[in-house]
Amino acid sequence: MSSGRRRRATTSSYSIGEAPAERLNTVTTTASTERRDRWLVLLLAAVLTGIVTVLLGLSTAGTASAATVSSTSSTPPTSGSAAQTRVGVSASDVILVLGVRDVIAAGQSRGELSPQPQVVSGLCVAAEAGGGGAARSVALGLARGSDGEELLQPFADGRGALTNSQWIKEGLADEGPFEQRFAQATGRSIASGGRIQFNLDQFSITHGLEADTSEGAFGPGGVTNWEFQQVLNSPTLYPATDWWIGDEQIAGEDIGGFGLGPRF
């Protein structure tokens, strides 16, 4: 009988000993599942964080690029600077184009622009003394004839030239003595491409050659004789002078016959 009790005890002891092992296996399996779920959650969170970071980076870069292009389009490009392809920013059904839209041809990189015809507008300023872009001529000769009629101004108007009374106003001469104004007006006229138009109507060439002009324009020789000798004695003024009698220009081959040869 005691032997039977021992066997039941053994059987009972074996049954009791199996229960903790099964519970341990169940707990271990549950813990592993929970850890795996937590790792999956953490991995998914990391992936989502990375995606959000990338999207924010792209959005920031796009905003910076649009601002750069907008700033570039408002500043005129300087010579030698690299041209940039303009950027279009779109939102839903609205498209905002920053700058000028350029078509990118096959094989063309975004930093290159196809040659485009351009219209350049601006102010053209002639680089000459006295200002003004048109050639301006100077008129010389007797102001009035023997009967008091005007000779020089009508002659100047017909040639499109300027007389002494107009030199300062038109910028050919500055305020100062007449000799200074004469030098400035003739020099600036020649620099602008103009000519010296000398009217010989009622002028005595012989007297002009013989006049004493050593005391200047307002000496005993007279103003017109002084101007006449200034032209004949100047390697600069003489080649730029046209001689006229009665609205007829003296031809180059006839100048010597009138006694108008150079004196230098």
Mean pLDDT split into 10-residue runs, the chain, 264 residues: 41 43 51 69 77 68 45 44 40 40 45 39 33 84 96 97 97 96 98 98 97 96 98 98 96 94 94
**Short-list 247, 173, 263, CA closest to 211:** 263
Residue 176 lies in a domain: yes
CB 178 within 8 A of CB 223: yes
With respect to residue 81, please indicate whether it lies within any of the assigned structural domains. Answer: no
Q: Which of 51, 72, 93 is the last residue of a domain?
A: 72
Do 152 and 238 belong together in one domain? yes
Kindly report whether the global pTM for this prediction surpasses the value 0.75: no
Q: Is 232 inside a domain boundary?
A: yes
The whole-number pLDDT of residue 58 equals: 62
In-domain check, residue 122: no
CB count within 10 Å of CB 108 equals 13
Question: Which distant-in-sequence residues (6+ apart) come within 8 Å of 96 by Cβ?
Answer: 88, 89, 90
Apex CA 193: angle with CA 187 and CA 198, to 5°? Answer: 65
Q: Are residues 170 and 64 in the same domain?
A: no
Residues 63 and 159 in one domain: no
DSSP 80-93: TPPP---EEEEETT
Q: Which of residues 72, 96, 129 is at a domain's end?
A: 72
Q: Does some domain include residue 165?
A: yes
Inside any domain, residue 123:
no
Tell whether 141 and 66 lie within a shared domain.
Answer: no
Tell whether 141 and 236 lie within a shared domain. yes
Residue 196 domain flag: yes
Cα separation, 234 vs 245, in Å, equals: 22
Give the residue among 239, 238, 215 at the shortest CA–CA distance from 228: 238
Query: How many structural domains is the chain composed of?
Result: 2
3 state SS of 197: strand
Residues 142 and 254 in one domain: yes
Which residue range is the domain that position 50 belongs to? 2-72
- What is the Cα–Cα distance from 219 to 65, expressed in whole angstroms? 78
- Asked if residue 146 and residue 63 are part of one domain, the reply reads no
Chosen domain end from 48, 72, 96: 72
Q: Are 232 and 238 contacting, i.e. CB atoms less than 8 angstroms apart?
A: yes
Let me know if residue 187 belongs to a domain: yes
**Residues 247 and 142 both lie in one domain:** yes
